[in-house]
A = this chain, B = another copy of it.
Amino acid sequence: MNIKNMVENKAKAAKAASWELYKLSTARKNSLLFGLAAELKANTGNILKANALDMASGRKAGLSASLLDRLLLNEKRIDLMAAGLKDIIKLKDPVGTVFGQERRPNGLKVARMRVPLGAIGIIYEARPNVTIDAAALCLKSGNAVLLRGGSEALNSNRALVKILKQAVKKEGLPLSCVEFIDTVKRSAVEVLLKQDKYLDVIIPRGSQAMIKFIMENSSVPVIAHGEGNCHVYVGPAADLKMAAEIVFNAKTSRPSVCNAMEKLLVDKRVAKKFLPVILDRLAAAGVEIRADKLTKRIFKNAKTATEADWYKEYHDLVIGVKIVGSLAEAIKHINAYGSHHSDAIVSSDKAACARFLREVDSAAVFTNTSTRFNDGFELGLGAEIGISTQKLHARGPMGLTELTSSKFIVTGKGQVRK
């Protein structure tokens, strides 16, 4: 069978199977995940054998140490995957929840009910644990899932999908509740992106280049994760010791992730006091400082930031620093140059904090804490299939509820419309 037919058939099969999941009780969805955890443990040997093949090819192909680390599975990581399933079992099932009840003057009872989306495509890169995590979140929210993993992890993913299908079968559900694109050919992705007849949404997890390609080529709605050009603004009323801890944490605790701070904005009234201390500390931790003119007067060792710097996500131990004259200027700068991901103010002025929360238009806005907390677990969703930086449907970390839609349910006693 050619790739086009293969992908189409799998998308079609996943959509057909999704109707069984649509009406499945929470108890049975949990039973499925419980069975999956058992299968994972029972098949650890097979999974590690398959993963060893991927690791060997990866080494041969010269993958970087960090990529190899993402690819690696071991007993501990498989235990973590199983533990993650137990956490998902504990989460409240959003499907069937009724909200927004209202009675109309004509007696109609109107409400909305949460329902599964249907069939979800997940396109991801090297991490094989995504195969289990993403599938489990889709299944718990009543959705069928069509997986397309990175080519480096093909053997590991095959072994994991086999286990997923075993669990689905033992629960008495159609095997196509989980489908997997079992080829490394890129053309499979292109076909996948055109399955709007069968797929209700595609969620990409991976590099910005990969996400951009998907957004530009998909006829299926996409929920995507854009760049994280995140700011911390230190206001004139900031507790400067707190500000230093937050800035240091936001920049250095994990500089390669999307919620790491990339830009520091400091009010001119505290710049002379605050900047030498924090910039020395950042520089000592290996952070390259790129600064505007005013900052350079205070901290001579900084490089000069260009206009392009203010738009940039460094993903690295680099920071852009700018002195601003007011809260309004800080907000304007963040909304104009930022990527609307995660932005923070440090200030003990409550009115300034409230204004910052209201006027900064980002997926997550913080007062007196680190941008690094923009994460589904940290924000209390209990799980996360990704972080959306879009405005439609889901914005910020996406949990189970974000994998559902809703419908109006209307109960009458024979009313007709005039």
Contacts and interface: CB of A to CB of B under 8 A. Distances in A.
Contact of A335 (B19, B358, B370, B393): B19
B117 A415 contact: no
30 contacts: A22-B359, A23-B359, A104-B379, A104-B380, A108-B373, A110-B379, A201-B391, A239-B414, A249-B417, A250-B416, A253-B417, A364-B410, A365-B407, A366-B412, A367-B411, A367-B412, A368-B411, A368-B413, A368-B415, A369-B413, A370-B415, A370-B417, A372-B416, A373-B410, A373-B417, A391-B405, A395-B405, A395-B406, A396-B408, A397-B408
A378 B110 CA distance: 10
B113 A414 contact: no
A409 to B, nearest CB: 5
Nearest to A16: B336
A246 interface: yes
A392 B116 CA distance: 11
A22 B369 contact: no
Nearest to A357: B409
Contact of A407 (B22, B96, B364): B364
A14 interface: no
A246 B110 contact: no
A223 interface: yes
A411 B353 contact: yes
A280 interface: no
A53 interface: no
Interface residues of A, number: 69
Contacts of A416: 245-246, 248-250, 253, 369-370, 372
A391 B200 CA distance: 7
B245 A414 contact: yes
A316 interface: no
Contacts of A242: 414
A102 interface: yes
A372 B415 CA distance: 10
Nearest to A332: B19
A369 B104 contact: no
Interface in A332-377: 335, 353, 357-359, 361-370, 372-374
A400 to B, nearest CB: 14
Nearest to A246: B416
Interface string A8-39: 00000000000100110000000000000000
Rank and list the top 7 A-B pairs by shortest CB-CB distance, nearest first.
A369-B412, A249-B416, A372-B417, A391-B405, A364-B408, A393-B393, A392-B393
A307 interface: no
Interface in A59-102: 96, 102
Contacts of A219: 216
A363 B110 CA distance: 13
A369 B23 contact: no
A183 interface: no
A366 to B, nearest CB: 5
A325 interface: no
Given A221-B392, A406-B395, A368 B414 contact: yes
